[in-house]
A = this chain, B = another copy of it.
């Protein structure tokens, strides 16, 4: 009794036909001796009818079936009586008059309902992931993910990219996040590392003359987790030779437009908006701005530099800045609501949050008295303030102002319902700085990585002001998330040497850290560059989810645990011995009291 049809695909053209279906009992109803079972498979649900008139022994057997039993049935497709049609079901006009039934397997009562929108503890869902994945919304997401992956591949294959698999057992890298390590049995005392990305391999493939490479690659970072991080994640990894950053970006725009169109039916208008890093930070307080709404930040430092608000004046004098977020129409917010914003802002480092209301035709609030008429007019004009607006002031170092107002902008955008959730708003953020100054280490560090190519126009700053060099690095941003990032890479020796010098590496140090890669670069390296997309995150956004775990079949929790398999777990001593390692557990820290 193997299926001839899928439950959810039974349709009018089959009326009168005998079909065999296999699936799970979604629900069973007994209506006075006639049994109805909704049978579910991957495709959907169809109603089975067991009636003494045509079901014979199958009726008695069906009486034993419970939720999630696995059935095989044979029966005739019939149209339902008009009044019993179910418009909520794709197959709701039809039902199957069952003549034969086999119970393929029994089932215990599941710990939660197999249906969409259940509200239960996520850890229960993760422990019983095989049941959670039976729920239609989860299957739909997995199908979407597979489809998205196919769209990427088909596009890249059609554009002469070659998929190459790179190793998972590789070498610990001297920079970057923490590596997952794998002890070697054959080489005692030595370790492999799981790759944080195939970065080095893909650059070597360019040295190897592959010209266009891609891989849907598993990557690993042993970081502390957040809701949008997983210890292992999937990256669409791309590298090209002999292409400019503009050519690459244009191709990638076509790719993401195709992705969105083929998964959601929506059109992305091309070219995708471009935004410099400086503008993104200044206008939106973020290098991954959500552009589905406005609420741009405005710098009022020049206006308030000499006003009576002492903290404003001193911040500006100290090289900081004062910026305003105009919360449109929020002048009527209560004092408590405004205080909540202050508390929220403090989480992002704000020492305080000044505000004024545009109310009753004037500017009101504790700080207004320190403004001159001219200040007020200038501020109103700068931030486009009209009656009913609430102006939020942040005054601090640039980094703090950015973080605080960037976060407030998002919060207020959401609260005011300014965000059209159905929109996919992409932007390129470009002209990232090549180097950032590390105050602790007292030296410059690479913002992207040490092989990122500087903008040719800025190379002269290596000798004068390295912080001013713009990198040929770019992020693709979608609805406030970074969904892709990449750069052109250095391929000329003299530029690489300048870069290392700027990072404070001696030639010997550079060689120690990146020796084999530098050697590879000596054998005819083409101009190259690439990009990587965060696949889990892209799928999350397309599926309209807010948690990466919903897009991954078997995810890990925030403490990097697999609740289903119970991993990680202890292993036998003999396994460790074979690997020439042993445990070095720290004693559990004694409680404070014990120290007394």
Contact = CB atoms under 8 A, between A and B. Distances in A.
Interface in A100-131: 104-108, 110, 128-131
A170 interface: yes
Interface stretch (A312-320, A460-468, A558-566): A558-566
Interface in A535-593: 552-554, 556, 559-562, 564-571, 575-586
Nearest to A190: B568
Nearest to A201: B554
Contact of A570 (B42, B189, B207): B189
A529 interface: no
Name the 4 nearest CB pairs between A and B, nearest first.
A107-B524, A133-B208, A171-B567, A190-B568
Interface in A142-173: 142-143, 145-146, 149-150, 153, 157, 162-172
Nearest to A134: B209
A525 B24 CA distance: 9
A552 B165 contact: yes
Contact of A130 (B129, B166, B523, B556): B523
Interface residues of A, number: 120
Contacts of A218: 165, 168, 218
A514 to B, nearest CB: 12
Given A578-B178, A580-B585, A581-B581, A556 B169 contact: yes
Contact of A527 (B104, B194, B247, B516): B104
Given A165-B552, A168-B218, A168-B232, A211 B42 contact: yes
A210 B169 contact: no
A134 B208 contact: yes
B130 A208 contact: yes
Contacts of A184: 560, 568
A187 interface: yes
A241 B185 CA distance: 38
B170 A205 contact: no
Given A108-B523, A145-B164, 16 more contacts: A108-B522, A129-B208, A130-B205, A132-B208, A165-B218, A165-B234, A167-B554, A167-B556, A168-B168, A169-B560, A183-B581, A187-B560, A191-B569, A516-B564, A581-B584, A582-B583
A520 interface: yes
Nearest to A136: B209
A129 B222 CA distance: 29
B244 A170 contact: no
Contacts of A560: 169, 184, 186-187
A505 to B, nearest CB: 18
Given A172-B575, A181-B182, A182-B194, A580 B584 contact: yes
Contacts of A244: 2
A180 interface: yes
28 contacts: A41-B209, A68-B523, A104-B527, A105-B525, A107-B523, A128-B523, A132-B208, A134-B208, A134-B209, A142-B164, A146-B164, A150-B157, A153-B153, A165-B218, A165-B553, A168-B168, A168-B194, A169-B220, A169-B231, A170-B565, A171-B565, A171-B566, A172-B569, A172-B571, A184-B560, A184-B568, A190-B568, A192-B567
A554 B371 CA distance: 67
B146 A553 contact: no
Contacts of A106: 524
Nearest to A22: B242
Contacts of A108: 522-523
A231 B182 CA distance: 12
A554 to B, nearest CB: 5
B582 A207 contact: no
A214 to B, nearest CB: 9
B133 A209 contact: yes
B192 A568 contact: yes
A526 interface: yes
Contact of A146 (B162, B171, B185, B586): B162
B583 A210 contact: no
A449 B299 CA distance: 68
A356 interface: no
A520 to B, nearest CB: 5
A524 B169 contact: no
A204 interface: yes
Nearest to A188: B585
A69 interface: yes
B583 A189 contact: yes
A476 interface: no
Contacts of A410: none
A554 B192 CA distance: 14
Nearest to A244: B2
A209 B242 contact: no
A153 B242 CA distance: 29
Contacts of A577: 584
Nearest to A207: B130
B133 A232 contact: no
A491 interface: yes
A535 to B, nearest CB: 9
A520 B210 contact: no
Given A163-B146, A575-B179, A131 B168 contact: no
A1 to B, nearest CB: 9
Nearest to A535: B165
A210 B107 contact: no
Most chain B CB neighbours (cut-off 10 Å) among A165, A577, A583: A165
